């Protein structure tokens, strides 16, 4: 097994810390909000307000389960339109009250079911991309495990994107790559090598800004490192003018064209 395929397996492991666990470990006084005010509450997308270093922030995450029952409740991290609309509601609320937005991403992709398509999955994702690009507050996204396709990007059009060391970020899964491009499912490990989807590779290419080290560290150490990095970066962003935050975010994503 290649080192890169090991990273893929680690990114998908069920024992990885979830978004809600990071909320509790890093922030104080977290209060979860529910619903998109249009259709329903999507349990795959969680979020609310919390305190970081005594300052209010909005936190949003894609939540996977630790077992079959919870995964069924959380739809295996596959967010539906109402989940993305809930996230957008929270982001616009953050903008209104001048709170930074921090998102935690762990999904193989948006939910592809018929019901999601009927309720405007593509439009919900596209609207998040548009609105996040113009958000008037600082924003940071952290890839916790899998960062798959538009389902991940819908929460990751931010001023900076960080990744945990054993996470992946890509336009599609290695299985999808091997199946579509080579018509050969058996080449999935080779696909993972070719795609350049690991944190170290993406940092080298300038796709992300920071890697949170996991090797030979306890979860408590990882939490502490991530918390300190968030405090430092958000303190830096508070010195920026609103127009500079928006311009930096716009240029960050335009450079990939």
pLDDT tens-digit profile of 178-230? 999 999 988 999 999 999 999 999 999 999 999 999 999 999 999 999 999 99
- Delineate the domains of the chain, giving CATH numbers in brackets: 3-250 (3.90.226.10)
Residue 158 CB-half CA count within 13 A: 28
CB 85 within 8 A of CB 124: yes
Among the listed residues 228, 231, 227, 236, the one whose alpha carbon sits nearest the alpha carbon of residue 55: 231
Residue 177 vs residues 42, 111, 146, 188: alpha-carbon distances, Å: 28, 18, 15, 8
* pLDDT computed for residue 66 by the predictor: 86
State the angle between helix axes of 19-26 and 219-237 in degrees (0 to 180), rounded to the nearest 10.
70
Beta strands at 101-107 and 160-164: parallel, antiparallel or unpaired: unpaired
Contacts of 167 (CB under 8 A, 6+ apart): 7, 11, 106, 143, 144, 145, 146, 147, 198, 199
* pLDDT computed for residue 57 by the predictor: 98
Q: What is the H or E stretch that residue 49 is in? A: strand 45-52
Ranges of the chain with pLDDT below 50: 1
Could you count the other beta carbons within 10 Å of the beta carbon of residue 80?
Answer: 26
Among the listed residues 70, 152, 142, the one whose alpha carbon sits nearest the alpha carbon of residue 111: 152
How far is Cα 218 from Cα 229, in angstroms, rounded to an integer? 17
Radius of gyration of the chain measured on its C-alpha atoms? 17
* pLDDT computed for residue 2 by the predictor: 66
User: CA angle, corner 77, sides to 28 and 124, nearest 5?
Assistant: 95
User: What does pTM read for this prediction?
Assistant: 0.94
How far is Cα 148 from Cα 150, in angstroms, rounded to an integer? 7
Contacts of 63 (CB under 8 A, 6+ apart): 18, 19, 20, 43, 44, 45, 46, 74, 77, 106
* pLDDT computed for residue 76 by the predictor: 86
Residue 2 vs residues 10, 15, 200, 207: alpha-carbon distances, Å: 12, 21, 15, 23
* pLDDT computed for residue 257 by the predictor: 64
How far is Cα 43 from Cα 76, in angstroms, rounded to an integer? 10
């Amino acid at each position: 097994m290649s080192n890169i395929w090991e990273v893929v397996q680690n990114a998908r492991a069920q024992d990885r810390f979830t978004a809600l666990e990071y909320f509790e470990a890093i922030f104080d006084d977290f209060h979860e909000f529910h619903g998109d005010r249009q259709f329903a509450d999507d349990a795959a997308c969680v979020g609310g307000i919390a305190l970081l270093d005594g300052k209010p922030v909005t936190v949003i995450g894609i939540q996977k389960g630790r077992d079959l029952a919870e995964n069924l409740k959380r739809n295996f991290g596959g967010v539906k339109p109402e989940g993305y609309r809930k996230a957008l509601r929270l982001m616009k609320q953050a903008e209104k009250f001048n709170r930074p937005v921090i998102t935690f991403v762990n999904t193989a992709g948006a939910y592809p079911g018929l019901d999601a398509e009927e309720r405007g999955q593509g439009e919900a994702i596209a609207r998040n991309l548009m609105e996040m690009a113009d958000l008037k507050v600082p924003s940071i996204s952290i890839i916790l495990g899998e960062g798959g396709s538009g389902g991940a990007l819908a929460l990751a059009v931010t001023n900076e994107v960080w990744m945990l060391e054993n996470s992946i970020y890509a336009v599609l899964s290695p299985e999808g790559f091997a199946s579509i491009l080579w018509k050969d499912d058996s080449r999935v490990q080779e696909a993972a090598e070719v795609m350049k989807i690991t944190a170290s590779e993406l940092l080298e290419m300038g796709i992300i800004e920071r890697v949170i080290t996991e090797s030979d560290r306890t979860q408590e150490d990882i939490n502490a490192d991530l918390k300190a990095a968030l405090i430092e970066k958000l303190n830096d962003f508070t010195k920026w003018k609103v127009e500079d935050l928006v311009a930096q975010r716009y240029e960050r994503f335009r450079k990939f064209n």
